Amino acid sequence: MKLNERSLAFYATCDSPADNAGFLYKRGERHTAYHRRWFVLKGNMLFYFEERESREPVGVIVLEGCTVELCDSAEEFTFAIRFGGAKSRTYVLAAESQAAMESWVKSLSRASFDYMRLVVRELEKQLEEMRWRPAGGCGGCRQLPGSWKSKPSGLERSPERPLALPTVLPKENGCAVWNNMPGADRPPDSSSCGGYDSEGNPQPPPLPPRRRALSSEAGGAGVAAAESTSIFCRLHEQYGQEVARLRQDWMEKRRGPRP
């Protein structure tokens, strides 16, 4: 199977943020000697280089579907990246200290695409709920599903990949979930670099797809419009109440203090 290797090599060495980096000893596949390599974790890709200064990785481990385990080994600070298939290779790695080992096990356990997606969705939901609640509501305090708490021991698992998203968005509280992922109303140059404005403030993710349905003539308007209408009504009512309150305050102030 062909892979866009040149782009992969660029991704490995470009200045996009690394989730972890450092020297690890990697045990060979056939020969059990360990080789010291410079590892760089970006997202769900674990690259390894011959030297820290090497311009191209020797290889990459795609981490989707893996589990990370501590090893019962003569070597100190070893851990393994294991995959599910019958003939799958297990990558045995050794760190240079307890702290390094723990750091790697933690970051590799959280490296899957789905983990990141779940955290993003959770924050998105929190933000939406905060925007809907009247002032003074408790927006930020949510109970976590237990599985996301970081475990103190070294045994960590990457979650199984859930099924693909249904094409019709599930509804919550009678209204559709706002969006699954931020939509793609992006300015032309934003898909790779960027994400920050000139002052270094993070740019908002693009508008959710539903808003585009409002303004576009294209199909799918039926469901999207109905959802948008109910959200709009809620918004309208909420702002209406606020306006009514402000008006009342203003009128009372005009009348002056009561005797």
Partner 1 sequence: MRYNERELLSLARQPAEKAAEVLMRLPKKGSVLKKRLVKLVVNFLFYFRTDEAEPIGALLLEQCRIIKEEENVFSISFVEEPERKYCFECDSEEQCQEWIEALKRASYEFMRRSLIFYRNEIQKMTGKDPLEQYGISEEARFQLGTRKQ
21 Cβ contact partners less than 8 Å away, ≥ 6 residues apart: 38, 39, 40, 41
Of 195 and 240, CB closest to partner 1: 195
Of 196 and 250, CB closest to partner 1: 196
E strand segments, 5-70: 20-27, 34-42, 45-49, 59-62, 67-70
**Interaction of residue 163 with partner 1, rule CB under 8 A:** yes
Of 106 and 234, CB closest to partner 1: 106
Which x/- pattern, by CB under 8 A, does the window 96-125 give for partner 1? -----------x--x--xx-xx-xx--xx-
Please state, as a whole number, how many other Cβ atoms lie within 10 Å of the Cβ of residue 221: 13
Element (H, E) at 171: strand 171-172
Please state, as a whole number, how many other Cβ atoms lie within 10 Å of the Cβ of residue 40: 21
Of 92 and 206, CB closest to partner 1: 206
For the bound state, the minimum distance from the C-beta of residue 41 to partner 1, rounded and expressed in Å, comes to 9
Q: Could you say which residues in the range 25-64 bind partner 1, by CB under 8 A?
A: 42-45, 56-62, 64
Q: Could you say which residues in the range 230-259 bind partner 1, by CB under 8 A?
A: none
Element (H, E) at 82: strand 78-82
For the bound state, the minimum distance from the C-beta of residue 74 to partner 1, rounded and expressed in Å, comes to 25
For the bound state, the minimum distance from the C-beta of residue 26 to partner 1, rounded and expressed in Å, comes to 11
**Burial of residue 200 (number of CB atoms within 10 Å: 0-12, 13-18, 19+):** exposed
Structure tokens at 190: 């934003």
Q: Which of 165, 221, 244, 246 binds partner 1 (CB under 8 A)?
A: 165
Q: Which of 36, 89, 245, 247 binds partner 1 (CB under 8 A)?
A: 89
Count of residues engaged in binding partner 1, rule: CB under 8 A: 81
**Interaction of residue 10 with partner 1, rule CB under 8 A:** yes
Segment near partner 1 (CB under 8 A), from 31-39, 69-77, 192-200, 222-230? 192-200
Cβ(91)–Cβ(81) below 8 Å: yes
Cβ(51)–Cβ(38) below 8 Å: yes
**Interaction of residue 136 with partner 1, rule CB under 8 A:** no
Residues composing the chain: 259
Q: Could you say which residues in the range 203-232 bind partner 1, by CB under 8 A?
A: 203-206, 209, 218-219
Q: Which of 26, 39, 66, 69 binds partner 1 (CB under 8 A)?
A: 66
CA distance 64 to 111: 8
